[in-house]
Structure 1
């Protein structure tokens, strides 16, 4: 009999606790559900004031403040063809391996092409120095992507006031 009396008492406590927990849970949900829309509205107002939204009058201001118009940007981009650079690779096995690379560099912000052509030897030196530090297995597979990114990084540092936007590797031969 004591077992029967103890069981309903525990059941009553069990029924009371979840009901109390549901109230707490519903309050949390209510607070959360009211806070999320307030945060979204606040973020939208902040984005509108910072001219980050693409619609309305603020989108036009963002386009002009952030980037120049496409016709202006196209007139400032120059494509500089770099002659072939040949370097021996660091093989480590005593066997000499050579690499030949031809590329074009896209430069933004330069006034004319003749000023850039005077810096072609500097570009070739950057190419040859990096290629000489590379190993033959570094140029296979995804190494080609790493080669391109490393050369872009080095060119951007060397041409700091100008912007190197891209490098187009047109020929890469290993022997």
Structure 2
């Protein structure tokens, strides 16, 4: 009888109730692990969002407002390093194309992009190769269907495809990225 009950009699004292032990089931362990991952991921994401770029920006601002040497370093740093971020984005004129549709109804797409110059690029070289870039974009954009533009992943896929076509047209090292300014479907 003592094995079935959670009350254990002790000699000379009144019976004391002991709580029954809870078993940790597989479901409970999985939920605890998922909760821990979510908390760690959320904390890490919040840290990266709030503290990600602030130290580098404040160091650059401190160097720029410092003595005479800091100003010379700030002006010459982008040209000597040849980094893609030091150049201004290159504006590509908006492109308007008709989309391929199964129902035969007219669908149009207007795309306005900017190119982030790479380490080998100059504004003149990008301007000279702009017709090649536009020519590379046209067939891809015309083959898109309205369904291809649905969802948030569509913009990412289009950016990647435009970047690949840009690099094929102008060469490696000329373009570091493609920024989509407008993507309007009508």
C-alpha distance in structure 1 between counterparts of 2:170 and 2:130, whole Å: 12
Q: 2:138 aligns with which of 109, 128, 137?
A: 128
Gapped runs of 5+ residues in structure 1?
1-69
Alignment map for 1:78-89 (pairs within 5 Å): 78-89=88-99
CA RMSD of aligned residues (A): 2.0
State whether structure 2 residue 117 is matched by structure 1 residue 94.
no
Gapped runs of 5+ residues in structure 2?
1-76
State whether residues 80 and 107 of structure 1, in contact with CA within 8 Å, keep that contact through their aligned partners in structure 2: yes
Structure with a larger share of its residues in helix: 1
| TM-score, normalised by the number of residues in structure 2 | 0.51
Structure 1, 116-125 or 78-87: larger mean CA deviation: 116-125
State whether residues 101 and 145 of structure 2, in contact with CA within 8 Å, keep that contact through their aligned partners in structure 1: yes
Q: What is the aligned length?
A: 106
Alignment map for 1:88-167 (pairs within 5 Å): 88-110=98-120, 112-141=122-151, 142-167=153-178
| TM-score, normalised by the number of residues in structure 1 | 0.54
Structure with a larger share of its residues in strand: 1
State whether residues 137 and 165 of structure 2, in contact with CA within 8 Å, keep that contact through their aligned partners in structure 1: no
Specify the SS of the correspondent of 2:131.
helix
Query: Once the two structures are superposed, what CA deviation does each residue of 1:8-50 show, in whole Å capped at 9, x if it has no partner?
Result: xxxxxxxxxxxxxxxxxxxxxxxxxxxxxxxxxxxxxxxxxxx
For the pair shown, the structure with the greater C-alpha radius of gyration is 1
C-alpha distance in structure 2 between counterparts of 1:163 and 1:118, whole Å: 12
Number of the residue aligned with 2:83: 74
Detail structure 1 runs of 4+ shifted over 4 Å in the superposition.
none
Specify the SS of the correspondent of 2:159.
helix
